[in-house]
Structure 1
């Protein structure tokens, strides 16, 4: 028998869908309103004064007065906010800092304000409601739901709470879902990832799990531990589990492995959350891409990825973007980030409505020889190469081998297999051909005998988990880069003797 909660979910989902479609059908006007409100609300902040917001009337004015920045360039303003100053990047003080691991600057402190926090919660909620509206089925809300996330324990600095984004969001689970939420608060607060997963397994095994959510690589670890304990498929352990919600990485390389672990196909919803904002979510099961959130206090700009490192690349708004072009995403938000480069690259799969896929990171590419191979290309090549075979891949990363012991340079693929292929060389050849078809620069380098075809190095079972543990990034929201333009990861894998 369905509960009142699940019965009410369907009409509520339809109301929310109607509200979402209002801005979906007026995208340009919606973004203009967001832009004007952002400028107005931040005019008297230190950043607004420094960049003459009072004189900004149009987007062209904004482009002329506010350059694109990354965290390093915005850090002097952020440091003043961390020190407790008010009205710096946004009016008043942030209510949180989402603390993330930076590259050159150590820890990064991403502000979250009372205006921006609700957009994170609303987008996550709407992703599920749009699914309910489409399917007309809400029975799963009566079961237990889990999100594999970071610790919700927050620290305080100058009156502002700080912690991981997933830990901050854990404080905003709606009351009507509190009884359904897992794991327990105590288990969620365990710092050590392996200990935490063991505790989650023990807590969830007796429960009726209907929704499981998290980054695929860490959910896979959870599934494998359940299978070790029970000897059963996940779908037999959790008979009503029918919805997997994920974000952070492309699910496709994991899909075959997941379906094998679960024992059947389950629906999935892709999310695109980040500390800087909740940018998109999958709004339809049959459509490729995620609905870009145009009404969430975020104004979007885009720069073509292959022009990004030019001296003065062209900045575009949504009205000028095209399908299947690789763009660096630039945001201005009601958390006080201005013309901010988050480092991600996206491609539009549709402009009516605006849907995107995450194609990679602007810093995560291989162009040691001018090939500019991106994450989406390596993922797609591998996925197509193993399609229809019994080969299953657990995890992988790619690096350039610039100085081999003999012969031409090449791309070195480090792959952890669930099921080994019968012929590694044949698989490498197939992946290489598929990569050449996608990337004309790579094709030219292979044909021109500048590079030799890629080589595969097999990583031992759980090798990538051991690697992440060795660098202190096991679990939570940490992700293995799909590819690097240097050999830091590759050399560490060799040094740890994780290759076979």
Structure 2
């Protein structure tokens, strides 16, 4: 018997699908409209006055007046907003600050305004509705759903509430979902991540879980604890679990491990949320990439990643992007971020409609020898090398070894295995071949005997979690970079057993 909620989901999904079709079919006009609205709304702000918004009529004017900035460069404005001043980056005051632990600048305070808040909430909902529209599957709406997230406890600072983005969003769960949602408020407020996951396991075990959502590395911890406690696969414990929603990192390196923990395949939806805005979500099960949110108060610019550190790199709008090129994504938003570099690199998989994949971080790459290796390439290499094998990888990161004890420098891959390969050097060879195939600079350096092929260093079981705990970043939205241009991260790893 179909429940009322399940029956209503389909017409609502169709309505949302039509709305999304409307703007995704007119992308350039929609972005132009967003651009004009942003400029006119912020003309009388301090930032707008400093950058002569009143005389900006088009994108060319904007490029001339508004340079690209990262958080550090915008900090003087943000500090005024944090101090409670009004009309600085956007009209009035923000309603929240999403506090994030920046890697370089300590804590970052990212403003969220009453204009920007709805898109953080609606995009995740719309992703689920697009899935319903495409598959016709509404079985999960009557079960329980869980979102592994940060604490919803907010602090006040000069009349503005402050917390983690996932904690802020927890206050906006629609009424019709509240009964279905886990964990309980009390559990969600537990600070220590391991204690919290244990409490979540206790709470969810007796329930009919149908949707599970979160960053893959933390959901994996939850799944492992369920398996330890019950001795069963997660799909056996939760027989109706059929939808996994994730964001924050690429799922592919985790997919084999997850299917093993669950014991079967489940559908998944990828999201691209950030404190600075909800940028994209997967709108089709069988299409690569996520639909870029062009109608959400965010104006996008793109710069080719290889040109990004030039003195005057070319900035472009979606009109000029090409499929498969690595771009740094720059945003201007109705939360008051202007020509802001969030640090992510993306590639377009389609321009009709505009779909993207996150290819890495502009800061997270290895180019110690001029090789320009990015996150997407190391993940794809790992995937190709372990495909159709029983090797299962829990986590990995890559660092350059510039001064080895002997021989040429190399890339060192630190890997924690759940299921080890019989032969490490065979796996290393496969990964290296894939990387050479994907990256011509790396190929040239290996062939030219500037680098020797990569080497694998085994990390003991639980080593990655131990490391994250040691730096106070276990759980929540924290994730370890796939690769870095120095050895700072790997120096902190526990000794292998």
Equivalent-residue separation in structure 2 for 1:208 and 1:463 (angstroms): 32
Using the TM superposition, give the Cα deviation of residue 137 of structure 1 relative to its aligned residue in structure 2, in angstroms. 1.6
Equivalent-residue separation in structure 2 for 1:297 and 1:92 (angstroms): 17
Say yes or no: does 1:234 pair with 2:243: no
2:378 aligned partner: 378
Say yes or no: does 1:10 pair with 2:13: no
1:217 aligned partner: 217
Using the TM superposition, give the Cα deviation of residue 139 of structure 1 relative to its aligned residue in structure 2, in angstroms. 1.6
Equivalent-residue separation in structure 1 for 2:72 and 2:390 (angstroms): 45
Say yes or no: does 1:252 pair with 2:252: yes
1:107 aligned partner: 107
Say yes or no: does 1:138 pair with 2:138: yes
1:33 aligned partner: 33
Q: Which residues of structure 1 form unaligned runs of 5+? A: none
Using the TM superposition, give the Cα deviation of residue 2 of structure 1 relative to its aligned residue in structure 2, in angstroms. 2.1
Matches within 5 A, 1:396-475: 396-475=396-475
Q: What's the TM-score once normalised by structure 2's chain length?
A: 1.00
Equivalent-residue separation in structure 2 for 1:211 and 1:434 (angstroms): 35
2:303 aligned partner: 303
Equivalent-residue separation in structure 2 for 1:490 and 1:478 (angstroms): 17
Q: Deviations over 1:103-137 (max 9, x none)?
A: 33211000000000001101011000000000112
2:93 aligned partner: 93
User: What is the SS of the residue equivalent to 2:239?
Assistant: coil
Q: Which residues of structure 2 form unaligned runs of 5+? A: none
Equivalent-residue separation in structure 2 for 1:137 and 1:265 (angstroms): 15
Is the CA contact (8 Å cut-off) linking 1:300 and 1:330 kept in structure 2? Answer: yes
Using the TM superposition, give the Cα deviation of residue 6 of structure 1 relative to its aligned residue in structure 2, in angstroms. 1.0
Using the TM superposition, give the Cα deviation of residue 102 of structure 1 relative to its aligned residue in structure 2, in angstroms. 1.7
Q: What's the TM-score once normalised by structure 1's chain length?
A: 0.99
1:361 aligned partner: 361
Equivalent-residue separation in structure 2 for 1:33 and 1:370 (angstroms): 41
User: What is the SS of the residue equivalent to 1:411?
Assistant: strand
Using the TM superposition, give the Cα deviation of residue 373 of structure 1 relative to its aligned residue in structure 2, in angstroms. 0.2
Using the TM superposition, give the Cα deviation of residue 167 of structure 1 relative to its aligned residue in structure 2, in angstroms. 0.2
2:328 aligned partner: 328
Matches within 5 A, 1:309-324: 309-324=309-324
RMSD: 0.5
Runs of 4+ in 1 over 6 A off after TM superposition: none
Q: Which piece of structure 1 moves more, 100-109 or 5-14? A: 100-109
Q: Deviations over 1:455-500 (max 9, x none)?
A: 000111111000000000000000010000000011111xx31x35
Using the TM superposition, give the Cα deviation of residue 3 of structure 1 relative to its aligned residue in structure 2, in angstroms. 1.5
Equivalent-residue separation in structure 2 for 1:145 and 1:457 (angstroms): 38
User: What is the SS of the residue equivalent to 2:406?
Assistant: coil
Is the CA contact (8 Å cut-off) linking 1:400 and 1:485 kept in structure 2? Answer: yes
Equivalent-residue separation in structure 1 for 2:103 and 2:203 (angstroms): 36
Equivalent-residue separation in structure 2 for 1:422 and 1:258 (angstroms): 21
User: What is the SS of the residue equivalent to 2:492?
Assistant: helix
